[in-house]
């Protein structure tokens, strides 16, 4: 890309008067329509007048003085002052000859009402390892090897592709020392450990809880300070690139959690960046988030909007990621989110929608799908806001998918119920199909469901140890055969017996026990079966992809439904027995086929099931009174699922 040299370079100064911005860049920045700010702001290695060094640019519109302080100048506030542009854009910039790579730096700012601040670079691409907070000059030199994936990923990331997502917190998935929370596996070690595990388990995508730099482990990354920097906890940006590359080499997509909703008040971060409310709303009825004691981005301000969309663009372009799961969308949309009457002000039309945030979200999605049509954006949105995953030209917000929080709550409530009482709660089980096709839904069993006293998945299930395991396998079978994309949090796949603890690692020792190996083997089989059977995903967001077969046995808590792909011969019949009662010679009436084979049974002995109720041969009796219908005779295992093809 060609840059315009805007200013005369005075080679006698310690900071040369130099710019990477054009007039068009400034207009777009201020209008909220500049989506590649990372090419201009931050620290950039350049050669000017045959001198190697770094160009710095930072937005601090309320500052009266900005300098670069670093190891390079022994953290002297005065020696390397940046120059403010004369166009009143609030941008301070300059080229420092001789400034090396790998050096710590911050911006020293004289801000609003004379306050003096030392701030990290909002556009830093590499940061110091916590608890230290400096930015680091960096210029990645990584040669990507994922051309085959990038050339074909449109098919992998399409809405009619298999989406079996493994949600991972990198620090606590596995540790070199489970008793030392400050000792992490590196990106390189995760490449050797995590990538083959995800592939073996049949997951199509991995989703990382925020890898963007963040100061506090307890925020799990959701209160970040580095919107352009992968956390240094696990290594360098180049090593993170290699991790993404390794997943792509195995045909696995990478999704990042991304948080444009709020940010923390850490002194080196965005809050009161130049002594005033620069990135956040000044009115704390909009600018303060009571749930997380954090601050809300000012979506009205064009510069902030350009900053955020540039961040999303950066991860998709520079790190080849395949999607962004956008956190806390509900809190962005609603002015009264977690606020009592009198704590919020209606919008100009008297409603509770944050019109500026809505406009930002639409622009975000339009920009991403314009520039990266082969990725997905996924909304964590828990309200009944309409058309979250519909295109903006249809009046939607423009996301590719939305988390189906209602399905998650209803499903867990149903499976928590004593099996002998489930007949009275069948509506919880069936309700999701009343509204499923309103959105492109992803079914989430996420980290939020196994923390803060909610108990691990296994212990949400009723009954003794065997019944808990059988119920969990049954619930997963239901999840994988229900329409929509899937998301499973790490540890759920082998029945963790404790809530997730970010200080430690997953309880991998449980895999020495047959019950937990059985759950893991069952999830592995479901994952590979789901991605190999087109009926499970080809029409997952279409009404024609699902059909109820039998809902008439509420008292017995047995249901049957059919998943359908583009070809009738790919159809799969799913029968679920929600009680511990074995149902022998159970009759199911369906159509179209005269021969069925059992392709999955959650009660297999290898899954720690009984192994004694299965269907090696399935009698099929045509019903003469209605051409095309046939009666199947099945044996249904206790608390079990069978899939027939």
Cβ contacts of residue 611 below 8 Å, gap of 6+?
Answer: 603, 604, 605
- Going by pLDDT thresholds of 50, 70 and 90, the confidence category of residue 2 is very low
- Phi, psi dihedral angles at 135 (to 5 degrees): -85, 165
In this prediction, residue 182 carries a pLDDT of 83
Catalytic residue among 213, 322, 327, 493: 327
Read off the pTM.
Answer: 0.96
**Is residue 42 predicted with pLDDT exceeding 50?**
yes
- Going by pLDDT thresholds of 50, 70 and 90, the confidence category of residue 237 is very high
**Is residue 12 predicted with pLDDT exceeding 70?**
no
In this prediction, residue 1 carries a pLDDT of 34
Mean predicted confidence (pLDDT) in 16-26: 97
Nearest to 475 by CA among 462, 491, 490, 465: 462
User: What is the distance between the alpha carbons of residues 79 and 102, in angstroms, rounded to a whole number?
Assistant: 20
- Going by pLDDT thresholds of 50, 70 and 90, the confidence category of residue 6 is very low
Domains and CATH numbers, the chain: 23-136 (2.60.40.10), 166-536 (3.20.20.80), 543-644 (2.60.40.1180)
**Is residue 264 predicted with pLDDT exceeding 70?**
yes
In this prediction, residue 7 carries a pLDDT of 45
- Cα 531 to its chain centre, rounded Å, is 20
In this prediction, residue 626 carries a pLDDT of 67
Q: At what angle do helices 237-249 and 147-156 cross, to 10 degrees?
A: 60
Contact 610, 637 (CB under 8 A): yes
Mean predicted confidence (pLDDT) in 249-268: 98
SS (HEC) of 151-193: HHHHHHCCCCCCCEEEEECHHHHCCCCCCCCCCCCCHHHHHHH
Mean predicted confidence (pLDDT) in 277-292: 95
SS (HEC) of 550-574: EEEECCCCEEEEEECCCCHHHCEEE
The encoded tokens of residue 82 equal 């940046």
- Phi, psi dihedral angles at 459 (to 5 degrees): -85, 0
Q: Is 570 a catalytic residue?
A: no
Residue whose tokens read 């190996």: 517
In this prediction, residue 594 carries a pLDDT of 85
The encoded tokens of residue 28 equal 């777009």
CA-to-CA separations, 87 to 21, 90, 91, 608, in angstroms, rounded: 11, 8, 9, 71
Name the least confident of 164-178, 303-317, 340-354, 615-629: 615-629
Catalytic residue among 128, 380, 538, 571: 380
Residue 534 burial (CB count, 10 A): 18
User: What is the distance between the alpha carbons of residues 533 and 481, in angstroms, rounded to a whole number?
Assistant: 10
Summarize pLDDT for 587-607 with one digit per residue, the tens: 999 998 889 999 999 999 999
DSSP states along 105-160: EEEEEE-GGG-EEEE--TT-SSBPPTT---EE----------HHHHHHHHHHTSTT
Mean predicted confidence (pLDDT) in 378-385: 95
User: What is the distance between the alpha carbons of residues 89 and 313, in angstroms, rounded to a whole number?
Assistant: 22
CA-to-CA separations, 497 to 461, 508, 604, in angstroms, rounded: 11, 11, 22
**Is residue 53 predicted with pLDDT exceeding 50?**
yes
Q: Is 71 a catalytic residue?
A: no
Summarize pLDDT for 498-549 with one digit per residue, the tens: 999 999 999 999 999 999 999 999 999 999 999 999 999 999 999 999 999 9
Farthest CA pair distance, the chain: 98
Name the least confident of 146-150, 355-359, 619-623: 619-623
**Is residue 479 predicted with pLDDT exceeding 90?**
yes
The encoded tokens of residue 200 equal 């073996």
Summarize pLDDT for 420-464 with one digit per residue, the tens: 999 999 999 999 999 999 999 999 999 999 999 999 999 999 999
Q: What mean pLDDT value characterizes the chain?
A: 95
**Is residue 351 predicted with pLDDT exceeding 90?**
yes
Nearest to 489 by CA among 501, 481, 503, 478: 501
Number of H helices, E strands in the chain: 15, 28
- Percent of the chain past pLDDT 70, that is, above it, reads 98
CA-to-CA separations, 534 to 448, 483, 526, 577, in angstroms, rounded: 30, 12, 13, 24
In this prediction, residue 516 carries a pLDDT of 98
């Amino acid at each position: 890309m060609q840059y315009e040299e805007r200013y005369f370079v005075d080679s006698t100064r310690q900071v040369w008067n130099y710019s990477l911005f054009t007039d068009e860049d400034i207009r777009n920045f201020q209008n909220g329509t500049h989506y590649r700010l990372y090419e201009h702001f931050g620290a950039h290695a350049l050669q000017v007048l045959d001198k190697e060094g770094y160009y710095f640019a930072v937005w601090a519109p309320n500052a009266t003085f900005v300098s670069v302080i670093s190891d390079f100048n022994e953290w002297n506030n005065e020696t390397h002052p940046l120059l403010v542009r004369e166009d009143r854009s609030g941008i301070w910039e300059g080229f420092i000859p001789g400034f090396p790579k790998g050096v710590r730096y911050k911006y020293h700012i004289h801000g609003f009402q004379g306050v003096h601040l030392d701030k990290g670079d909002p556009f830093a691409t590499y940061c110091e390892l916590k608890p230290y907070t400096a930015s680091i000059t960096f210029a990645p030199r990584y040669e990507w090897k994922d051309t085959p994936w990038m050339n074909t990923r449109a098919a992998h990331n399409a809405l009619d592709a298999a989406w079996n997502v493994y949600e991972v917190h990198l620090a606590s998935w596995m540790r070199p020392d489970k008793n030392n929370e400050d000792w992490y596996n590196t990106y390189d070690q995760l490449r050797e450990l995590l990538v083959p595990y995800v592939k073996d388990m049949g997951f199509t995508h991995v989703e990382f809880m925020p890898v963007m730099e963040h100061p506090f482990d307890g925020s799990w990354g959701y209160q970040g300070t580095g919107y352009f920097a992968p956390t240094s906890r696990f290594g360098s940006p180049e090593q993170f690139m290699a991790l993404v590359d390794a997943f792509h080499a195995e045909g696995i997509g990478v999704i990042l959690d991304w948080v444009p909703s709020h940010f923390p008040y850490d002194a080196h971060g965005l809050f009161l960046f130049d002594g005033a409310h620069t990135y956040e709303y000044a009115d704390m009825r909009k600018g303060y988030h009571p749930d997380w004691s954090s601050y809300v981005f000012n979506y009205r301000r064009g510069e902030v909007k350009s900053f955020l969309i540039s961040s999303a663009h950066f991860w998709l372009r520079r790190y080849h990621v395949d999607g962004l799961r956008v956190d806390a969308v509900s809190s962005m949309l609603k002015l009264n989110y977690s606020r009592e009457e009198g704590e919020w002000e209606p919008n100009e039309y008297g409603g509770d929608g944050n019109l500026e945030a809505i406009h930002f979200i639409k622009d975000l999605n339009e920009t991403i799908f314009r520039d990266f049509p082969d990725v997905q954006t996924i909304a964590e949105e828990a309200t009944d806001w309409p058309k979250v995953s519909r295109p903006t030209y249809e009046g939607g917000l423009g996301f590719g998918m939305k988390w189906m929080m209602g399905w998650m709550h209803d499903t867990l409530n149903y499976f928590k119920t004593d099996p002998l009482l489930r007949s009275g709660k069948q509506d919880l089980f069936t309700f999701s199909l009343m509204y499923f096709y309103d959105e492109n839904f992803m079914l989430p069993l996420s980290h939020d469901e196994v923390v803060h006293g909610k108990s691990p998945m296994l212990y949400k299930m009723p009954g003794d140890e065997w019944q808990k395991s059988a119920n969990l396998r049954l619930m997963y079978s239901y999840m994988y055969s229900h329409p929509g994309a899937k998301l499973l949090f790490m540890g759920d796949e082998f029945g963790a017996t404790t809530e997730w603890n970010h200080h430690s690692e997953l309880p991998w020792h449980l895999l020495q026990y047959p019950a937990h190996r059985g759950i893991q083997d069952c999830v592995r089989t479901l994952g590979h079966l789901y991605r190999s059977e087109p009926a499970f995903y080809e029409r997952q967001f279409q009404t024609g992809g699902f059909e109820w077969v039998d809902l008439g046995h509420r008292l017995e808590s047995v249901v049957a439904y059919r998943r359908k792909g583009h070809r009738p011969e790919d159809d799969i019949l799913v029968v679920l027995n929600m009680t511990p009662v074995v149902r022998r010679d159970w009759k199911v009436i369906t159509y179209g086929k005269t021969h069925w084979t059992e392709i999955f049974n959650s009660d297999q002995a290898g899954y720690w099931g009984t192994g004694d109720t299965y269907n090696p041969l399935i009698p099929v009796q045509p019903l003469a009174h209605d051409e095309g219908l046939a009666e199947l005779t099945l044996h249904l295992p206790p608390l079990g699922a069978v899939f027939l093809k």
